[in-house]
Every structure is written in C-alpha cells, then in structure tokens.
Chain A
Amino acid sequence: MSALDAGNEQVIATYNFAYLDEQTKRMIRRALLKGIAVPGYQVPFASREMPMPYGWGTGGVQVTAAIIGPDDRLKVIDQGADDTTNAISIRKFFERTTGVETTTATAEASIIQTRHRIPETPLTAGQILVFQVPIPEPLRFLEPRETETRTMHALEEYGVMHVKLYEDIARHGHIATTYAYPVKVEGRYVTDPSPTPKFDNPKMHRNPALQLFGAGREMRIYAIPPWTEVVSLDFEDHPFEVQAFDRPCALCGAEDVFLDEVITDDRGGRMFVCSDTDHCNRRQAEGHAGEQAA
C-alpha cells in the first residue's frame, strides 16, 4: 500500500488506504454484497465515526472507502456540481487518504459519489454511483416504529406509501413530492432514493451502472444492481411524471435537463442553469450556447 510508503510527506502515514481499516471495509463490503443480492433491501451495517459531521455524506464516504482501489478514478458531486464545499472536501479527503486520481468528467470516472443528482451523461456498465442518503426508510413518514417498518418490508405491506401520495393529490391536486420519491425495486422492495429529485428517478431504471446507497447516521446500506427494474409509485389516474422546465439552460441551451435557479443580483435577476456542471461545461466547450452564455 502506498499509504505506508515511509518518507512520503504527502501521505499521512498513520492512516490506512481510504482511511478505514481493512476489517471495517470487509464488513461494509459484506453489507454491500448482501444489498446487491437483495435489491432495494436495507442492510444494517456498523457505521463508523468519520472525520466529518453526519449529514455531510458519512454513509456515502464509507461505501466509497470500502470499494475504492488505487486504479479507480473518483468524481464527487453535491447537487450536480463538482465545485461546492461538500463535494470538494470529500474529493480532497479521498485524494489525501488514497492518492487516487479524481475527475469532474462523468464519462471518465469509475466511481461517482453523489449527494442528490444522477449525472445527465448516461452512465455505462462498470461505473459505480454512490449515493449519500440521509433517511433510507421510505415508510418512516407514516410509521415511526422501526420494528413495524421492518415487518412491513418483510411482508410487502406497502399500502401506506400510497397514503402519502394520496395526501399529496388531495392537498395539491397532483403528486407534489419532488424529491425522495418512492420507487419499487425489482418488483419487491419499496426504496427511498432520497434526496434525489424525482427528475432522476427514470435514470435509475435499468441503469447499466451499479448504484450503491449509504446512510451513515441511520447505519443502512442498500443497492440497485445494474439493469434492475426501478418503478416510481403512482396512481392509475395520476401517473408518475418528472418535472418539466419551461426553458433551456441559460448557459448551454440544453433542454430536458434538471435546472437550478441562480440569483444573479439583488434586483430580482435570476437565471436557470444546468444543475450538472460537468454536463454544462462540456456542452459549452462543444459550442452550444444559451441566451446568457458568457
């Protein structure tokens, strides 16, 4: 292991490769394998204290640490951006503790850790997408008892999930849930892709990449293996729909992408731009331009 390479001042000699000790990684890998074997099932794991607060992606970081190797190339995004505080600090963490190469280009990464978004660039077989999950239990909203939710999963009692959607329609006239939108994985487990916007739900369906989910505070890991069926719950008369944006990206002109609203001044000025910065930059480099392109 390069981490033990004495004399190299750049590497903190006291840390194991990817920070976690090998026993912990094996424990997490076992949980991951179980999660992959039972798609959508929440596998408990002995989440460790990480050198960052809960809510900063401790679950995703542990999953990444357990699967990353010296040959991997890592991309980290928060929302869709590579350049936010959270994304940068996690990327630096792995740069320092593993020395692996990092990238912002979706197509070049072998592992992508994300807090919300699934990149706009379609993923390919062999890539791994690691989600940071705050609350893995989709039934929690209606059933606070963990013993009860586990039984409900075991017996496929998912009626309450529709109660939540029913409430949405009764209140707003349509299903207003825009993120953490529940899905059924491989026709069996109802899973919360939180806090992914529902815009990205269809991308989970039969995705060639492996999708891993880590919830550090809640100590749960689950997985969606490549090419798995992922169906968003809905009603016959209120079918699942993704958000539609009524304008293209102001910078690259892309349509059918997830947009962020950016406030540009304190006089009400605003613009809508791609949430996926890599996608946006690449398109601009290819010559696409939106109405406010620099």
Chain B
Amino acid sequence: MSMQDNDPPLMRVSNLTHMYGDRIGCRDVSFDLYPGEVLAVVGESGSGKTTLLNCVSGRQHCTAGTISYRMRDGRLQDLNALSEAERRFLMRTDWGFVHQNPADGLRMNVSAGANVGERLMAVGQRHYGRIRETADDWLGRVEISHDRIDDRPGTFSGGMRQRLQIARNLVTGPRLVFMDEPTGGLDVSVQARLLDLLRGLVDDLGLSAIVVTHDLAVARLLSQRMMVMKDGQVIETGLTDRVLDDPQAPYTQLLVSSILQV
C-alpha cells in the first residue's frame, strides 16, 4: 500500500500565463503535482514548455496565474507571496534544477567535491570533513569515481557532468526537482545510463519531478503523467502511457507517430 494516495498536492499551478510582450510564452496552464510523482512536459521547441518550467521553478515571473507549493511544514504557500530570500532558500534546499547544459548548473572553476558540497555550506554546514564525506557519498551514488572528487568538471565527459549536476542538486534532499531536457545532447548509451540513474534516484528518494523533454522515450521511462504543449498551451494531458498509446489531439498523434522505430 502506498502512503501517498491521500496526500494533498505538492504543487498547484492555476491558470499560469507568461507573455513576452505580445507574444505568448505559455497560457492558462493548470496542473497539480503530487508527492512522488514525475510529470513530463513534452512538445517541440517553442511550445512554451521551458517558459512553463522557468515560471513554476521561480526562475521567471509569470504574467498571470498562481503557483502554490506545500512547504515542509505542510502549509500551501503562494509562491508569489514569498520574499526573494525565502524563494531563493526554497530553491537551494527543497528544490533542484537540472539544466540541459551542465555548465549552466555547475561551477566549472571549482572541484566536483566543492560543487556537491556548496549547497551544504549554503545551509550552514561548517565541518569540512563531513561535507567532503557527504560529497564523496553522492559522487558514488551518481557513479562518479571517488578519485575524481578534486577534479574540476571541465575535465569530465558530458555524461559525468550531468551526473555531477544531479548530485549537486540532490545533496540537500530536495522534494521537488525540475529538469530541462536532462538527457539532451548526450549519446544514446550515456542517455540510457543517466535515465536509469534518474529513475532509480526518483524511486529511492520519493522525489517529485517536472521533466521538460522533447523525447517521448524519456517521458515514457521517467514519468507517470504527461502534458503535451503546443503554441504555449496544454493540448493534452493524462497518464503517460495513455497519452502515448492512445493520443487524442491531432498534434499528439503527429508527435507519437513521428518516433523512429529501432
């Protein structure tokens, strides 16, 4: 029996709209995200999925609509009403953000260990030995060899950098992770390894995640629920395998039928 079935939503997004001047970034997006749930947002470039991700993750202000988040103390908090200090604290403790390009999410001029340890130091940990131990443990969990702890990410392969970015995000035990094309730009074999790792971590840690991807296979493997976006709007939403096996909207049918079979 799952404990999660009667949990209230972790995040509640209502009528979220973001305009770039006259142009629509995303319009009237509403969804609930529940604890332990992975939601995939799919669509082609320019469909508004990254705008949506940036808005709900607090990286960009939205033009209209509300985003509420269930804080650790259980109360549902309107994110717009948070002060910047509170919002940033939330972002570096209870949330994670995995960028498509690891260089955007890592400090390239400090070692792997420091990259993982930074969030711990940011929340006040002041014991070098323990910080390093935790960093070392996390490097192991993302399958980075322990002897690379003092190397800078510049000496890492693309897949290793992406795994390092994931460790850096998860070290404070966040409850919600945002991912923007986490496997984009990686070789397929590297992609498979990363997906498997992500899948395992999400399961083990009971993470909730919002994953933006244009890759339906990634969505199938990681998510339980899916939203399809086009021209800034959600055109289809539901259980991931239903959307993929029995797509209703013309655009979703096009998307699904465009997958190359191997």
Residues of A near any B CB (own CB < 8 A): 142, 151, 155, 157, 159-160, 162-164, 166-167, 169-171, 234-238
State which residues 83-139 of B face A: CB under 8 Å.
84-85, 88, 107, 109-111, 113-114, 117-119, 121-123, 126-129, 131-132
Contacts A142-B109, A170-B114 given; does A155 touch B126 at CB 8 Å: no
Contacts A159-B118, A159-B123, A237-B129 given; does A167 touch B110 at CB 8 Å: yes
Interchain CA distance A292-B88 in the complex, whole Å = 59
Interchain CA distance A169-B121 in the complex, whole Å = 14
Q: By the criterion CB–CB under 8 Å, are A237 and B114 in contact?
A: no
Q: By the criterion CB–CB under 8 Å, are B121 and A166 in contact?
A: yes
Interchain CA distance A211-B131 in the complex, whole Å = 35
Q: By the criterion CB–CB under 8 Å, are B107 and A169 in contact?
A: no
Residues of B near any A CB (own CB < 8 A): 84-85, 88, 107, 109-111, 113-114, 117-119, 121-123, 126-129, 131-132, 149-150
Leading 7 A-B pairs by shortest Cβ distance: A159-B122, A162-B121, A235-B128, A159-B121, A155-B85, A236-B127, A163-B114
Which residues in A have their C-beta under 8 angstroms from that of B149? 170
Q: By the criterion CB–CB under 8 Å, are B129 and A166 in contact?
A: no
Which residues in B have their C-beta under 8 angstroms from that of A160? 118, 121-122
Interchain CA distance A167-B113 in the complex, whole Å = 9
Q: By the criterion CB–CB under 8 Å, are A163 and B84 in contact?
A: no
Q: By the criterion CB–CB under 8 Å, are B127 and A142 in contact?
A: no
Contacts A237-B127, A238-B128 given; does A163 touch B88 at CB 8 Å: no
Which residues in B have their C-beta under 8 angstroms from that of A162? 121, 126
Q: By the criterion CB–CB under 8 Å, are A155 and B84 in contact?
A: yes
The residue on B at minimum CB distance from A161 is: B121
Q: From residue A179, how far is it (CB to closest CB) to chain B in Å? A: 20
Q: By the criterion CB–CB under 8 Å, are B88 and A157 in contact?
A: yes
Q: From residue A148, how far is it (CB to closest CB) to chain B in Å? A: 11
Interchain CA distance A231-B169 in the complex, whole Å = 30
Interchain CA distance A157-B118 in the complex, whole Å = 11
Interchain CA distance A164-B117 in the complex, whole Å = 11
Which residues in A have their C-beta under 8 angstroms from that of B111? 167, 170-171
Interchain CA distance A221-B84 in the complex, whole Å = 26
Q: By the criterion CB–CB under 8 Å, are B118 and A170 in contact?
A: no
Q: From residue B110, how far is it (CB to closest CB) to chain A in Å? A: 5
- 16 pairs, CB–CB < 8 Å, chain A vs chain B: A142-B107, A155-B84, A157-B88, A157-B122, A160-B121, A162-B126, A163-B118, A166-B121, A166-B131, A170-B114, A170-B149, A235-B126, A235-B128, A235-B131, A237-B128, A237-B129
Q: By the criterion CB–CB under 8 Å, are B121 and A155 in contact?
A: no
Interchain CA distance A42-B90 in the complex, whole Å = 27
Which residues in B have their C-beta under 8 angstroms from that of A166? 110, 113-114, 117, 121, 128, 131-132
Q: By the criterion CB–CB under 8 Å, are A151 and B84 in contact?
A: yes
Interchain CA distance A155-B92 in the complex, whole Å = 13
Q: By the criterion CB–CB under 8 Å, are A167 and B114 in contact?
A: yes
Additional A-B contact list (4), CB under 8 Å, known A166-B110, A171-B111: A157-B88, A163-B117, A166-B114, A235-B128
Which residues in B have their C-beta under 8 angstroms from that of A167? 110-111, 114
Interchain CA distance A236-B120 in the complex, whole Å = 14
Q: From residue B230, how far is it (CB to closest CB) to chain A in Å? A: 34
Which residues in B have their C-beta under 8 angstroms from that of A171? 111, 150
Which residues in A have their C-beta under 8 angstroms from that of B88? 155, 157
Contacts A235-B128, A238-B128 given; does A170 touch B122 at CB 8 Å: no
Interchain CA distance A235-B88 in the complex, whole Å = 24
The residue on B at minimum CB distance from A165 is: B128
Contacts A155-B88, A169-B128, A170-B132 given; does A163 touch B110 at CB 8 Å: yes
Which residues in A have their C-beta under 8 angstroms from that of B117? 163, 166
Which residues in A have their C-beta under 8 angstroms from that of B119? 159
Interchain CA distance A171-B109 in the complex, whole Å = 13
Interchain CA distance A157-B113 in the complex, whole Å = 19
Contacts A159-B119, A163-B118 given; does A170 touch B126 at CB 8 Å: no
Q: Which of B123, B127, B149 has the most CB of A within 10 A?
A: B127
Which residues in A have their C-beta under 8 angstroms from that of B85? 155
Interchain CA distance A151-B92 in the complex, whole Å = 15
The residue on A at minimum CB distance from B115 is: A163
Interchain CA distance A236-B149 in the complex, whole Å = 21
Q: From residue A98, how far is it (CB to closest CB) to chain B in Å? A: 45
Interchain CA distance A236-B128 in the complex, whole Å = 7
Interchain CA distance A166-B127 in the complex, whole Å = 10
Which residues in A have their C-beta under 8 angstroms from that of B126? 162, 234-236
Which residues in A have their C-beta under 8 angstroms from that of B132? 166, 170
